[in-house]
Structure 1
Amino acid sequence: MTEIDRHLMEERMDLLKITAEVVLKSFDEFVEMSEQRVKKLTKLVDLEQKEKKMLQEQFIELAKQHSSLERAATFCSSRGGEPVSAYGDQEDEFHDAEEELTFSPNSEYHSAPLDMTSSECTSTSSESTTCTVIKKGRNRRTTVPERPDLPINLWSIMKNCIGKELSKIPMPVNFSEPISVLQRVTEDLEYADMLEKAAKLSSLEQMCYVAAYAASNYSTTCHRTNKPFNPLLGETYECDRMEDLGWKSITEQVSHHPPAAAHHAIGRGWTMYQDFTMTSRFRGKYLSVIPVGYTHVVFDESKNHYSYRKITTTVHNIIVGKLWIDNHGDMEITNHKTGEKCVLKFIPYSYFSRDTQRKVYGIIRDSTGIPKYVVQGTWDKSIDMLKVSNWNGNMDKPKVEVDETSLKRIWTVNPLPKGAEKMHNFTKLTIELNEEEDGVAPTDSRLRPDQRLMEIGKWDESNKKKLEIEEKQRIVRRKREAEMDKAMQRGEHYEEYQPTWFTKVQDELNGALIHQYKGGYWEAKQQNDWTKCPDIF
C-alpha cells in the first residue's frame, strides 16, 4: 500500500469516526428529545384531564350563575312595563354590547382625572354625599354569621338539571346569600341620602344627583355573585329607617309567573317606586340579565318626576374561571316635568382598554338639548359632577369641555365592613336587612324559616325547609288553577291573583303596566292587623 493510499484511508477512517460521533450524538439528542416529548405529552394529558374535570364542575356551577338571573342584579334592576319573564320562552334577542361607543369621554372633554384622592376632591370643592348624621333609633347588628366553607355536591345538582331550563333549575341554598330578592331590591336605597339632598336643588343639579343615585345601585355587584332567595308569591319586606336614615320602604312579590316584585319608598322630600322583573340571555361563556320596566323618582316640593330604565348586568366565566360581573349600556333619565334629560353611559369592560374600567359618563341637557353638566366616575367607587363650559354644538354627538374648578364629588361608595369577605361581602346596610324585628307582617322575608336557617349555617335543614315551603306554594297554585278551570268550564269569571298592598295600573307617562302602592301597610302595622296577609311560610 502506497503512502498516498494509507493517507487516504486514514482520512476516510477519521471521517467515518466523525460521522459516527455525529450520528451517536444525534441519536442521544433524539432520545433526550423523545423523553422530553413524552414527559410533555404526559403533562398535557394530565392537564387535559384536570381541565375536563374542572370544565364539568364549572359547567354545573351554571346553577350558581342562576344567582345573576335575579340580580344581579340583583343585582340592581329596573321594573315597570308589561312584565317579561325570565322563566318563560322569550323571542327577544340579546345583542352583545358594542365595543365602540358613539363618543369617547376622554376625547370629548377635558376634566380632572377620575381616580382623585379625597384631599384632591376637597381642594376642588368636591363633596361627599355620605352624610354625617346623629345616630338615632335602635342599635343594629354589625355582623352576620360567617358563611361556612361547606363542600357542594355538584354532580347531584347536575342530575336535577338534565332536561330543564336554566331558569327553572331548583337551586339549593348552597349557592345563595341569606337575603331575599325583596331585600336585594331594598338595597337600592343604601345611598338614598342623595335623593334627600337633591330635593333642595335646581332641576339640572337635581338630575346629576338622580344619575349618581342610579349608578350607586350597582356598587355591590362587583363583590357578590351568590343568588338571593326567590320570594314566594305574597312575600313582603318592610324596611323602616325613617328615624335614622330618613326613609322607609315596602316591597311585595306581586307575581309568580313571571316573577315580579313591586317596591315603594318614601323619604324626606322624595318618593321612589319601581317594579322588579327581568329577562335573561345565556350565551355559553356569559349570562346577561336584562331589566324590564322603569324606576321612578318624584320630588315633593318641585314635583319633578324622573324615570329611567336600568342597564344590563352580565356575569362572565360561566363555564371556566372565576365569576365576575360587568354592568353596561345606556340609561336614559328623563325629567318629565321640564323635559331635561341625561344619557348615562356604563362603559363595558374591555381587556384592550387602558382607560378606567367600570366607568360611567353622562351629559345632562336642558329642555332645548344644550349640555349643562357632566357626571363621571365609576359605578363601584365614586361619581363627580362638573359644569359644561363649552361644546361643539352637535346635538347628535356632543363633545363638551368642562370647568374643572366646578368639580364636586356627589357620591362615594361606603367601605365594606371588616371581615365582609366571610359575611357574603355584605355592606353595613345589607347586614342589617335580615335582622329579626318585632311587629312586621307575617309574610316578611325576615320570618322565612329556610332563609334564617341558611343564615345561621344550617344548610341541610335549610334545604329541607326550602322544599317544604316551595311545595306548599305549589299546592296553593294548583288549587287556584283547578278553580280557574272549573270557572271557565261554567263560563264564569275567575279573578286572577291580587297582591295585598299593590294594584296593577297603567303608567300615564309611558303606557306600561306597573304595580302601584295602594296604601294600608303602615296603618296595618300600627294597628297590628295582618288579617289581609296570606299564609305562605
Structure 2
Amino acid sequence: MATPENSRNWLLIHSPNHPISQSCYVNDKTFHLPLKVPPVCSLSLGGVMSEAKTPTPTPPGDTYKGWVFKWTNYIKGYQRRWFVLSNGLLSYYRTQAEMGHTCRGTINLATATITVDDACNFVISNGGTQTYHLKASCEVERQRWITALELAKAKAVRMQAESGKTDKGELFSSALRTLSNKVEDLSTCNDLISKHGSALQRSLAELDGLRLTGEAGDKIRQVTERATLFRITSNAMINSCRDFLTLAQTHSKRWQKALQAERDQRVRLEETLEQLAKQHNHLERAFRGAAQANAKNLNVCEASDEDDDNEFFDAMEEAPEFITVPADPQFHKLVSFPLAELVPLKKRRTRIPDKPNYSLNLWSIMKNCIGKELSKIPMPVNFNEPISMLQRLSEDLEYHELLDKAAKCQNSLEQMCYVAAFAVSAYSTTVYRTGKPFNPLLGETYELDRKRESGYRSLCEQVSHHPPAAAHHAISDRGWTLRQEITVASKFRGKYLSIMPLGTIHAVFEKSNNHYTWKKVTTTVHNIIVGKLWIDQSGEIDVVNHTTGDRCHLKFAPYSYFSRDVARKVTGVVMDKDGKAHYVLSGTWDEKMEFSKVMQSSRGGENGTEGKQKTVYQTLKARELWRRNPLPDGAETMYYFTALALTLNELEDGVAPTDSRRRPDQRLMEEGRWDEANAEKQRLEEKQRSARREREREAASQRTSSQSEEGAPHDNYLALWFERCEDPITGEEIHIYKGGYWEAKERGSWENCPNIF
C-alpha cells in the first residue's frame, strides 16, 4: 500500500476488462485511454490520428478554414496547423497540401464542448480521448473561430435531432404506403373475382343449355346451384371491397394531411416547451436567492439545505419527445406565499475601476530585499492589488458549496474527497493574481456576510503584527465550520519570491462530528525582475480526519519545462485508518478535480533505478468533484479578480470601523489614485508603529522584567474578537473566535474597536 514516502511512485491503471473506463496513472502522470480504439485510429501526443481521410466538400458558407496553433507537448509547445470546419466536423492537417491525403485528427462538434481559456486560447474536447488545446493569432481571430464553432455545433445538434424526428415520421409514412399497397392488391383481386365469376356463370349456362339427362344432368344442376351460391357470396364480398376501396381512397389524402399537421404541431409544441422551460429556469434562478433569504421565516430552511444538489437545465434540443426541467421542491412550498414577502437580495457589483498603467523601476526597490522577510519592508502600492490579506483569506470560501456537499455525505471517505477538493480549490483564484494584497494593520478586521445568499458568515482579524498572523472563522447554516490562523512568511530570492503560509486549517461538520485539518503549500512567484510574472504552487498536503483516522495525501507537482505532464497537476489518494485506498483524486489546482473509486489495489514491479515499488489501483470511471468558475468579462484589467473578489471591497453599511473596506489607502488605490494611496499607506504604518511603542511603554511600566527576544518590552496586545489558547487537536497556540462580533453589529455597538485608520 502506498505511503507518503513512496507516493510519487504510484501507478494507476484501470483494468482493460472493466466495463466502464480505462486510465493509466504512472508516477503522478495520468493517461486516459479509450475503452475501444477504432481500427482506423491510433493514439499520439497530439490527439487521435486517423488514416487517410478527406472532409466532405461543402459549400463555402458551411466551411471555415484557417491556421491555428495547436498544443502538442512540452518539448514542441504550440505548433501551427491547418484547421477545416465542415459539416459539423473539425479536422486538422499539418499543411494545406495534406488535405488531399492525410487528416491528422477529427472531432465531431455535435458531442464536443467548447471552452475559452483566455484572450487567444480555447479548448475543444469530446469528453474522451480527443482534446485540442488551441491558440489563435489574436483575440479577434479567436472570436471568429469560437463563433464558427458554436454555429457549427448548434447546426450539428439540430440536424441530429431532426434526423430522429424524420425517422419517426418515416415510420408513419411507411405504414401508410404499406396500407395503400394492400388496398391496391385488394382492388386487383376484386377485379379478378368479378371477371372469373362472370366467365364461370357463362360456362355453367352453356352446360345447362345442353339439357343432359340422367346422372350427368343431376351433377350439372348441383354445380350450377353451388356456383349460384358462390356468385351471391362473391357479389356481397365484391360490394364490400368496393365500398372499402372508395372509403380508403377518400380518406388517404386526409390521413396524409393529418400526419403533416401532427408533425407541424409537434414542432411548434417543442419550440413552445423549450421557451417555457428556459423561462421557468430563469424565474426559478431569480427567486432562488430570495427564497433562501426568507427560508427561515417560511420554515423551509431544512428543505432548502437538503435539495441544493438539484440542478437546473435549459431545454435540450436532443430530446424531441419531451423536456424535463428539474425544480427544487422548496419552490412548491413557496408558491402559496405572496411574492411581496420575498425581500430581494442585495445586488453586488461586477466591476471595479481599471488598473492604471503606472511605470516603476522594480530593481531599484527589490535589489536590497534579496533574502529578507518582505513583511518587514515597506513596499509601495504599485506591487499591490486593492484588497487586504484578510479579504484574500476570505476568498478561500469561493467554492463553499464543496463544504455544503461534504456536510450531506453519509460516507466519511466520500466526504474526505470533497474536503480535499475544497483545499485545492483555494488556489484556483491565484493563477493570474500576481499582485500582493495589503498587509493588514494590527486589529484590522474583515467580515463576509453571505448568510442570505449562501448560508455562511465569515470573520477575519489581524491578531499579530510581527510575525503577521490573521485568524479566520466561518460558520454555515448548512452544517459546517471553518477556522484557521495563518502566518505568512515570504522570502525574495532574486529571480522568484517564495510565500510560505504557516498554520493549520480546521473544518468541522456538525452532523457527523468529523474534524478535518490540513496546511497550505508553498506559493512561488517567478520572474520578479525580468519577464512576465507567473505563479506556481508546489508541495504536499495531508488532509486528516481526526474523528475516523481517514487521510488524504495530496501532491502539488511543481512546474517543469521538461515534463510531459500537464501543468499545475494535483494528485492524491484517500485512505482509511488502516491505510487501505478507497479513492484516487486527480486534476489541476487551477481548473478542476476528479475522483475515482478504487476497486482493487496491488503492488507492481520496481520503478527503474530507484528500486521502489509501484502501487496499482483499479478504479471506476472518474467523476468530477470541482471545476473553476470562469473569470468575469474584462478581468485582465481588474487585477484578474473573480466574481467574488470584485465584491470583497464593496462598501457596506454597518460593518466595524476596523473593517478593511474602510481602509483609506486601499480605497484610494482601488480608485486609481496611487500617489495619494502611497502617502496614506505611510501615514497608517507610522500610526501603527506609534501605537505599538505606546503599548510597549505600558507593558514596561507594568512588567519591567518582561523582555522580548530583541530586548524591547513585551507587546501585550490582545485581539478583540479572538482569544489565544491551545488547540486541542494540534497542540498549537492559536486564536479561536470567542463570539460577540455579529451581536455587536446587530446593536451597532463598536465602542471597543480601536482607532487604527
Short-chain TM bin: 0.7 to 0.9
- What is the Cα deviation at residue 321 of structure 1? 1.8
Aligned to 1:512: 732
After superposition, where does 1:268-283 map in structure 2 within 5 Å? Answer: 268-283=478-493
Map 1:4-15 → 2, pairs under 5 A: none
CA distance in 2, matches of 1:258, 1:359: 32
CA distance in 2, matches of 1:398, 1:308: 26
- Select between 103-112 and 459-468 the one with higher mean Cα deviation: 103-112
Within the alignment, does 1:107 sit opposite 2:20 as a pair? no
The one-character-per-residue Cα deviations of 1:447-479 (angstroms, maximum 9, x if unpaired) are 001100100101111111111111111111111
The alignment partner of 1:174 has SS state of helix
- Contact 1:110–1:401, Cα closer than 8 Å, also in 2: no
Q: Which residue of 2 aligns with 1:481?
A: 696
CA distance in 2, matches of 1:497, 1:196: 36
Displacement of 1:432 in angstroms is 0.5
Q: Unpaired runs of 5+ in structure 1?
A: 1-97, 124-130
Matches within 5 A, 1:140-159: 140-154=348-362, 157=365
Q: Which runs of 5+ in 2 are unaligned?
A: 13-24, 35-46, 48-111, 115-124, 130-283, 291-344, 605-611, 708-712
Q: 2:528 aligns with which of 308, 315, 318?
A: 318
In 2: Cα distance, 1:122 partner to 1:244 partner: 36
Give a deviation string over 1:113-147, Cα, whole Å, max 9, x none.
79995986699xxxxxxx97823420000101100
Task: Work out the CA distance in 2 between the residues paired with 1:297 and 1:398.
Answer: 32
Matched residues in 2 for 1:189 and 1:113: separation? 35
- Go from structure 1 to structure 2 and tell me whether the alpha carbon gap of 1:517 and 1:461 turns closer, same or farther (over 3 Å shift): same
**Residue in 2 aligned with 1:401?**
617
Instruction: Output the CA distance in 2 between the equivalents of 1:198 and 1:365.
Output: 17
CA drift of 1:320 comes to: 2.4
- Contact kept in structure 2, 1:487 and 1:494, CA below 8 Å: no
Which of residues 447, 451, 456 in structure 2 aligns to 1:242?
A: 451
Partners of 2:370 and 2:492 within 8 A in 1: no
How many residue pairs get aligned? The number is: 431
| Aligned match of 2:404 | 196
Whether the 8 Å CA contact 2:413–2:550 is kept in 1: the answer is yes
Is residue 291 of structure 1 aligned with residue 501 of structure 2?
A: yes
Equivalent position of 1:329 in the other structure? 539
Larger C-alpha radius of gyration, 1 or 2?
Answer: 2
- Structure 1 distance, partners of 2:614, 2:597, is 15
Matched, 1:463 2:683: no
* 1:473–1:351 CA distance, 2 compared to 1 (3 A): same
Higher helix share: 2
Q: Which moved more, 1:108-117 or 1:331-340?
A: 108-117
CA distance in 1, matches of 2:403, 2:422: 7
1:243 is paired with a residue whose SS is helix
The answer to whether the Cα contact below 8 Å between 2:374 and 2:491 also exists between their aligned partners in 1 is no
Query: C-alpha displacement at 1:175, in angstroms?
Result: 1.2
CA deviation after TM superposition for structure 1 residue 162, in Å: 10
Q: Shift in Å at residue 191 of structure 1?
A: 0.1
- Following the alignment from structure 2 to structure 1, what is the Cα–Cα distance between the partners of residues 30 and 474? 38
Partner of 1:301: 511
Structure 2 match to 1:389: 599
Pairing of 1:113-132 with structure 2 (within 5 A): none
Q: For residues 286-332 of structure 1, give each alpha carbon's deviation from its aligned partner in whole angstroms, at most 9, with x where no partner exists.
A: 22222212100000100000001111111222332222111111100
Residue type matched to 2:462 in 1?
Q
Q: Which amino acid aligns with 1:230?
A: N
Identity of aligned residues (%): 55
Report the TM-score when normalising by structure 2. Answer: 0.54
- The answer to whether 1:529 aligns with 2:749 is yes
Q: Is residue 2:658 matched to residue 1:443?
A: yes
Structure 2: how far apart are the matches of 1:362 and 1:164?
34
How far the C-alpha of 1:418 sits from its partner, in A, is 0.3
**One of 502, 508, 518 as aligned partner of 2:722:** 502
Offset of residue 111 of structure 1? 6.9
1:256 aligns with 2:472: no
Separation of aligned partners in 1, 2:751 and 2:537 = 42
User: How far does residue 104 in structure 1 lie from its aligned partner after superposition?
Assistant: 5.9
**2:289 partner letter:** K
The within-5 A match list for 1:66-105 is: 101-103=8-10
Amino acid at match of 2:722: F
Q: Helix, strand or coil for the counterpart of 1:244? A: helix
Structure 1 counterpart SS, 2:701: helix
Q: Deviations over 1:400-455 (max 9, x none)?
A: 424343x2111000000000000010000000110000000000000001100100
Does the 8 Å contact 2:363/2:529 carry over to 1?
no
Do the aligned partners of residues 112 and 280 (structure 1) sit closer, same or farther apart at CA in structure 2, a change above 3 Å counting?
same
Q: Structure with the greater relative contact order (CA < 8 A, sep ≥ 6): 1 or 2?
A: 1
Letter in structure 2 aligned against 1:250 = L
Structure 1 counterpart SS, 2:429: coil
Contact 1:297 1:306 in 2 (8 A): yes
* Residue type at the aligned position of 1:107: V
Distance 1:250 1:404 in 2: 40
Match of residue 289 from structure 2: 135
Offset from partner CA, 1:9-32 (integer Å, 9 cap, x none): xxxxxxxxxxxxxxxxxxxxxxxx
Q: Distance in 1 between matches of 2:387 and 2:539?
A: 27
Counterpart check, 1:172 vs 2:391: no
- Greater Cα shift, 336-345 or 108-117: 108-117
1:377 aligned to 587, 590, 595, which one? 587
Q: Is the 8 A contact 2:441 2:465 kept in 1?
A: yes
How much does 1:280 deviate?
3.0
Question: In 1, are the aligned partners of 2:696 and 2:715 still within 8 Å (CA)?
Answer: no
Could you tell me whether the CA contact under 8 Å between 1:121 and 1:409 is conserved in 2?
Answer: no
CA shift for structure 1 position 167: 4.0
CA distance in 1, matches of 2:547, 2:392: 30
- Structure 1 residues 460 and 284, CA, compared in 2 at 3 Å: closer, same or farther? closer
Measured in 2, the distance between the counterparts of 1:531 and 1:163 equals: 42
Cα distance between partner residues in 2 of 1:104 and 1:393: 9
Does residue 392 of structure 2 align to residue 184 of structure 1? yes
Paired with 2:128 and 2:658, the residues of 1 have a C-alpha distance of 46
